[in-house]
Amino acid sequence: MPEFSATTNSMGSCVTDAQIIFIDAGLTDQAEKDTVLHEALHGAWSQTGLQKEYTEDQQEAVIWALTPRLLAIIRDNPELVQWLSGR
């Protein structure tokens, strides 16, 4: 979405009920990847029931901590990604 961050003060958003991720169309390639994974983790989080045990701030802190590390695992281990995806 163009200028998403200007109107929402966020680079992306996950609408969990609709299973949709919105991101700012003006992001760099790296920021786009970070944001998509970050929002996908929010979607996964919503399916676990963890939101009942943790505040939104705690959820955000965990997801911010995991996102760059998961991206590094994916980037640095293409064979693992291939194996995990069954290809």
Helix (H) or strand (E) holding 22: strand 20-23
The length of the chain, given as a count of residues? 87
At residue 1 the predicted structure's pLDDT band, cuts being 50, 70 and 90, is low
Are the C-beta atoms of residues 50 and 58 closer than 8 Å to each other? no
At residue 17 the predicted structure's pLDDT band, cuts being 50, 70 and 90, is confident
To the question of pTM greater than 0.85 for the whole model, the response is no
Give the chain's mean pLDDT: 88
82, β-bridge pairs: none
DSSP state of 23: E
User: How high is the pLDDT of residue 2?
Assistant: 54
Are the C-beta atoms of residues 51 and 45 closer than 8 Å to each other? yes
